[in-house]
């Protein structure tokens, strides 16, 4: 919860997006909670079909099929496994609340959906012949991180670093987020065509989020106050 001069303001849309992603995951085959999808081979086939239906398949996206342009939107609410879901939702919870406060609920929601859509579209354009399915909210959440960097550059966040035995250390947001962006950049340049994390979608989303906040809000709305949230080690 965020405290303002008008009293506490709850980031309702951030919570709603988290709830929607969790609900979609729980009822889908990837969670393993829905017995209707069966077990073993039946469950694996159900997962594959589910991801192909609701996720982005770059080669299919440009095929001209009427429903395909909707998949970059539906894919934002689909996650591949529990770790994928929890990592993304942690980042959305940590950084989404303050971004929503600054933008307002409606603008934040439209920003989130548009940035996520364009991030997945950018990845699909760069891998137009790929048949690998792309799912997850990481493109949209990367956009939130980019906007956060512009709006709250000196807000302090707590990060856990594995190579420092997971000691909680507090850094300005600009240090944490630029370090995160550099990791995505290096990973994207070292990635191959095998299934894995869509680092390019992260880079596109982050860049779009930063540019949007820069153009839309300018210098007058940058905030330097300390931030409450803490950041986990998992990446969106």
Structural domains present in the chain: 12-216 (1.20.1540.10)
Q: Looking at residue 169, what is its pLDDT?
A: 52
Q: Exactly one of 202, 207, 230, 234 is catalytic; name it.
A: 202
Residue with the larger pLDDT of the pair 228 and 38: 38
> Where are the alpha helices (H) located in 12-81, listed in sequence order?
12-27, 40-54, 58-61, 71-74
Give the integer Cα–Cα distance in Å for 53 and 71. 8
The dihedrals phi and psi of 180, each to the nearest 5 degrees, come to: -60, -45
H/E segment holding residue 156: strand 156-161
Catalytic residue among 130, 138, 142, 159: 138
SS3 assignment, position 28: coil
Q: What is the pLDDT of residue 2?
A: 39
Question: What are the structure tokens assigned to 173, written together?
Answer: 């947001």
pLDDT digits (tens, 9 = 90+) for 22-48: 999 999 999 999 999 988 999 999 999
Q: How many CA atoms lie within 13 A of 223 on its CB side?
A: 16
Helix, coil or strand: residue 171 = strand
- Inter-residue contact 201 to 139 (CB < 8 Å): yes
Give tens-digit pLDDT for 162-218: 433 344 556 678 888 888 888 888 888 776 555 557 889 999 999 999 999 999 988
What's the pLDDT tens digit per position in 83-94?
Answer: 999 999 999 998
> What local confidence, expressed as pLDDT, does residue 16 receive?
97
Give yes or no for a contact between 47 and 30, defined as CB atoms under 8 angstroms apart.
yes
Packed helices 82-103 and 12-27: angle between N→C axes, nearest 10 degrees: 160
**Residue 79 annotated to the active site:** no
Closest CA to 201 of 58, 90, 101: 58
202 catalytic? Reply is: yes
Contact present, 118 and 181 (Cβ < 8 Å): no
């Amino acid at each position: 919860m965020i405290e303002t001069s008008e009293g506490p303001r709850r980031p309702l849309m951030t919570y709603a997006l988290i709830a929607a992603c969790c609900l979609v995951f729980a009822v889908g085959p990837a969670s393993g909670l829905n017995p209707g999808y069966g077990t073993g081979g039946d469950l694996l086939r159900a997962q594959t079909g589910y991801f192909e239906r609701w996720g982005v398949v770059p080669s299919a996206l440009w095929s001209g099929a009427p429903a395909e342009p909707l998949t970059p939107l539906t894919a934002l609410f689909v996650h591949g496994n529990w770790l994928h879901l929890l990592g993304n939702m942690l980042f959305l919870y940590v950084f989404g609340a303050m971004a929503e406060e600054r933008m307002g609920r409606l603008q934040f929601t439209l920003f989130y959906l548009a940035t996520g859509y364009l991030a997945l579209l950018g990845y699909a354009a760069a891998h137009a012949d790929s048949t690998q399915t792309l799912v997850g909210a990481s493109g949209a959440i990367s956009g939130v991180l980019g906007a956060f960097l512009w709006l709250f550059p000196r807000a302090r966040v707590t990060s856990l670093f594995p190579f420092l035995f997971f000691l909680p250390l507090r850094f300005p947001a600009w240090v944490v987020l630029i370090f995160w962006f550099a990791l995505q950049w290096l990973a994207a340049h070292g990635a191959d065509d095998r299934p894995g994390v869509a680092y390019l979608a992260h880079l596109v989303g982050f860049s779009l989020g930063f540019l949007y906040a820069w153009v839309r809000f300018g210098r007058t709305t940058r905030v330097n106050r300390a931030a409450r949230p803490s950041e986990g080690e998992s990446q969106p």
